[in-house]
Amino acid sequence: MLAAVVEAGSFVGAARALGLTQSGISRAVARLEERVGARLFERDARAVTPTDEGRRFYERVAPLLADLDDAVTDVGRAAGAVRGTLRVLVTPLVAHFAIAPRLGGFLAAHPELSLVMSVRADATGLVADGFDVAVRFGESTLSGHVARRLTETRVVTCASPDYLARHGRPKRPQDLSQHECIQFPDPATGRPFAWEFQRKGRAVKVRVAGRLTVDDGETMVAACEQGHGIAQSLEFAAPGLRDGRLIDLFPDWNKERFPLYVHMPSRRQQPAKARAFVDFVAAAVRSRM
């Protein structure tokens, strides 16, 4: 405001430059003069000119104002550039099946970006844990964050042709109680997920058992492909369904969907590096569907 008055030579010109009213500029100058304890401007009908004290004051603060402008410009450029360090938390299935095969291309496209990626299923305190972005399955339970839904995937019940040749194919979900089932624990409780089947608005829960419980989806699917048992997996993480290594046992009972979200701290202007990573993950996930 002080600089605007000096450079414009009038309250009217300063008000026009700053988008304020003339009376607002006048009151602000009066408050500044009261605070510094000196008259900074001489006022007459034709112009507003700095006093000796006002000129000295302006000469002292002008370099500081220039530095402030430079700082604002620098921060603005940094926010608009994909550079710096980005810390991300990614659920293992997305990391293994979508991100890892394309990660080299992403980093090559952004040579000024350093990526610190933690691969784990839990995500409780995004900001508190120091992460800029989190990618995880399931409905959002993180408060105070921006959540973007990337996609959803079916829950499929599958087995290998070898397993079915040795043990027979179950004809309905209830038959699974007679089969060896590979179980997957809920990260929140540590207990195996319940097996539920949905069709035409009807839901059926089946109690299953098996000698193998594994908390890594990729390992579970690999064990299923090797014939160790029947597994429930996200279709996203079961590429064997497309080439015959796995058989979808109940295609009419897999209406259950699991959403994939990306989470970021709540703020109006997301850094370009975070936006670039989210767009990359979205494209990588779409290529898997």
CATH number of the domain enclosing 157: 3.40.190.290
C-alpha 90/C-alpha 285 separation (Å) is: 12
Helix (H) or strand (E) holding 265, with range, is: strand 257-265
| Residue 131 and residue 255 in one domain | yes
Spatial CA neighbour of 260 closest among 134, 158, 156:
134
| Residue 144 and residue 232 in one domain | yes
| Residue 104 and residue 171 in one domain | yes
Query: Which of 51, 80, 109 is at the close of a domain?
Result: 80
| Residue 35 and residue 96 in one domain | no
Contact 180, 167 (CB under 8 A): yes
| Residue 75 and residue 91 in one domain | no
The 10 Å Cβ neighbour count of residue 91 is 21
Spatial CA neighbour of 4 closest among 21, 17, 23:
17
pLDDT of residue 73: 45
Write the DSSP symbol of residue 281.
H
| Residue 199 and residue 120 in one domain | yes
| Residue 177 and residue 96 in one domain | yes
Query: Which of 32, 52, 80 is at the close of a domain?
Result: 80
- Strands 181-182 and 145-159, how do they pair? unpaired
Query: Which of 25, 56, 80 is at the close of a domain?
Result: 80
State the sign of the Cα–Cα–Cα–Cα dihedral 222, 228, 231, 235: positive
Tokens of 272: 């370009």
Instruction: Calculate the alpha carbon distances from 217 to 36, 190, 231, 237 in Å.
Output: 67, 15, 10, 7
| Residue 142 and residue 166 in one domain | yes
| Residue 61 and residue 127 in one domain | no
pLDDT of residue 267: 59
| Residue 240 and residue 98 in one domain | yes
Integer Rg of the chain from CA: 31
| Residue 46 and residue 92 in one domain | no
Q: In tens digits, what is the pLDDT along the chain, a chain of 289 residues?
A: 667 676 667 777 777 767 778 788 788 878 877 887 888 888 776 778 888 887 887 777 766 665 565 555 455 445 467 888 999 999 888 999 899 999 999 999 999 999 999 998 765 555 556 788 989 887 765 556 778 888 888 899 999 999 999 999 999 999 999 999 999 988 778 888 889 998 887 888 999 999 999 988 899 999 999 999 999 998 888 989 999 999 999 998 877 788 888 888 765 567 889 999 999 999 998 887 7
Tokens 């949905």 correspond to: 198
* Opening angle at CA 42, ends 39 and 44, nearest 5: 145
State the maximum Cα–Cα separation within the chain, in Å, rounded to a whole number.
Answer: 102
CATH code, domain carrying 73:
1.10.10.10
Instruction: Calculate the alpha carbon distances from 207 to 75, 175, 197 in Å.
Output: 57, 10, 12
C-alpha 282/C-alpha 106 separation (Å) is: 12
C-alpha 111/C-alpha 84 separation (Å) is: 10
C-alpha 189/C-alpha 231 separation (Å) is: 19
| Residue 94 and residue 75 in one domain | no
Residue 248 three-state SS: strand
What domain count does the chain have?
2
User: Which structural domain, as residue segments, surrounds residue 260?
Assistant: 85-289
pLDDT of residue 168: 96
C-alpha 282/C-alpha 145 separation (Å) is: 18
Tokens of 263: 């989470």
Contact 252, 157 (CB under 8 A): no
pLDDT of residue 125: 55
